[in-house]
Structure 1
Amino acid sequence: MTSKTLPRYRELANQLKQDILSGKMKPGDQLKTELELCEIHDISRHTAREALRILSEEGLIARRRGAGTVVADLAAPAFAQPIGDFDSILKYARDAHFELGSERPATPDEVSKNGLNGNYHVYTGLRRQDDAPPLALTTIYALSELAPDQETLEQLDTSISEWIETTHAVPVNRVTQRMEAVALNRTEAKALKVDAGSPALMTIRTYYDSTDRIILYSKSLHPAGRFAYEMQLDRTRTTGS
């Protein structure tokens, strides 16, 4: 059996990504052009273009007028999520992989404290994108009768809510979302690799089925600089007669 190797463009993207994340290349530094990358690494123009596309999609490089392609300012949020529709929440769940840390039945005190009613299973873990620092520390409560087991959760390539809809035919009818600025305690900060007391954005999402039963409840802590919400407000203008 032959070992599975990465495509050449992915290898180059990973190499350039490591140079950026390690600080070898700094914000504002100019990248080699596609033609220069082809000559240096003995690759095709297509391979070079694909590698740069990956870095661009991950927010690591940016094109600047008059300067070409440069290393992006990594102080900008690593993940920006539109606010206002359910599809954007699902996209975040798909793109930011949930790395399970622990799972167990929720205690009665936890259920009561979070305004839930019934039996729930609780999962705690990190949201990540590739090898970048974690985007969030997330705790998820799933109604026990609908909750996936550990093996299933670790293999999911979609959101838990979508898995519940597909597996149990229980669709999500509505989602409420609350956001609050908080300071991270020592345990939270250690998991997220920041200093204790660092600012964070806490998001709480509650998922209801058609009978208004809470089937999922999640609480995420996003360290400052790694996550942002984007919202577009259109001004409605009226014209007089």
Structure 2
Amino acid sequence: MKESLYRRITREFAQQIHSGQYPVGSLLPTEMALCEHYQVSRHTMREALRDLTEQGLITRRKGSGTQVADKAQHKGLNHPLACLEDLFFLAKNNPRVVKRIDEVVADYDLAQTIGCEPGSRWLHVASIREDSENKDAPICWTDSYASAAFTKVRQLVRSDPFALISDLIEAHYGIQSEEVRQTISAVTVSAKIAKVLGVEPGSPALKIVRRYQDRDGNTFETTISVHPADRYACSIVLTRAKG
């Protein structure tokens, strides 16, 4: 999953803003200075700044410079996710800690979630994503289901904790995720995972189901993640259709 240059710059700035390196109200360097620092064109830098503006992290006013927005460090925006590159960034900066690996047979309910036939076999990886800045407050609990044929994944998920499982599958099996279908729903945290996440059972959370599909539309991995309510934000930009 290759990240575009302007997206990489966006990620770096977002991380610096969330960490407090650029406090609320502070000014970013000038556009020219940023171009020189990153060795990129003005077009690329403007794309990155536009992205940050759409995420609500900065404001840009003619004659006043580029300023970090008031809501940029709201704790609900610690890990904003809006596109495939955001998943890559989240994984790259927050290690996976594997809790269990086994092989399961999909019952009716799991088959409905994964989008497979009941009775099919799947490699199951249960894990958390540690917050690199606060290990006592994991970002999420994730149950990943990949084809049982991907046997190397058992070792790879432990040896490379900063990679998405879909990226490991691509690197070792040549199957690339062309599309990720995502469903978000409001849930409560079950007693089974509450202690690991550091929250009370029954506390509010968001459940995100992602189906990773190859170029033929086949689902080769499904993840079911539970994020405590104050540790996740979904950023969506709506644009007017042209024509």
- TM-score, L = length of structure 2: 0.64
Q: How does 1:1-241 map to 2 (within 5 A)?
A: 56-60=16-20, 63-65=23-25, 75-81=75-81, 83=82, 85-109=83-107, 111-114=110-113, 115-117=115-117, 118-132=120-134, 133-156=137-160, 157-235=162-240
Give the 3 Å change call, closer, same or farther, for CA 221–192 of structure 1 in structure 2.
Answer: same
Counterpart-to-counterpart distance in 2, 1:171 and 1:113: 23
- Contact 2:93–2:132 (CA under 8 A) maintained in structure 1: no
- Contact 1:60–1:74 (CA under 8 A) maintained in structure 2: no
- Contact 1:78–1:135 (CA under 8 A) maintained in structure 2: no
For residues 56-91 of structure 1, what are the alpha-carbon distances to aligned partners after superposition, in whole Å with 9 as ceiling and x for unaligned? 45535652449xxxxx9674432112x2x3223322
Aligned to 2:46: none
Counterpart-to-counterpart distance in 1, 2:147 and 2:25: 51
Tell me by how many angstroms 1:150 deviates. Answer: 3.2
Give the 3 Å change call, closer, same or farther, for CA 60–198 of structure 1 in structure 2.
Answer: farther
Counterpart-to-counterpart distance in 2, 1:62 and 1:78: 14
- Contact 1:98–1:128 (CA under 8 A) maintained in structure 2: yes
- Contact 2:140–2:225 (CA under 8 A) maintained in structure 1: yes
Counterpart-to-counterpart distance in 1, 2:112 and 2:236: 30
- Contact 1:183–1:198 (CA under 8 A) maintained in structure 2: yes
Give the 3 Å change call, closer, same or farther, for CA 108–58 of structure 1 in structure 2.
Answer: same
Number of equivalent positions: 183
Counterpart-to-counterpart distance in 2, 1:112 and 1:76: 32
- Contact 1:111–1:120 (CA under 8 A) maintained in structure 2: no
- TM-score, L = length of structure 1: 0.64
Structure 2, gaps ≥5 residues long: 1-12, 27-71
Tell me by how many angstroms 1:116 deviates. Answer: 2.3
- Contact 1:127–1:136 (CA under 8 A) maintained in structure 2: yes
Larger Cα-atom Rg: 1
Tell me by how many angstroms 1:235 deviates. Answer: 4.5
Counterpart-to-counterpart distance in 1, 2:80 and 2:154: 29
RMSD: 3.2
Tell me by how many angstroms 1:234 deviates. Answer: 3.4
Give the percent of matched residue pairs that are identical in Structure 1 and Structure 2. 21
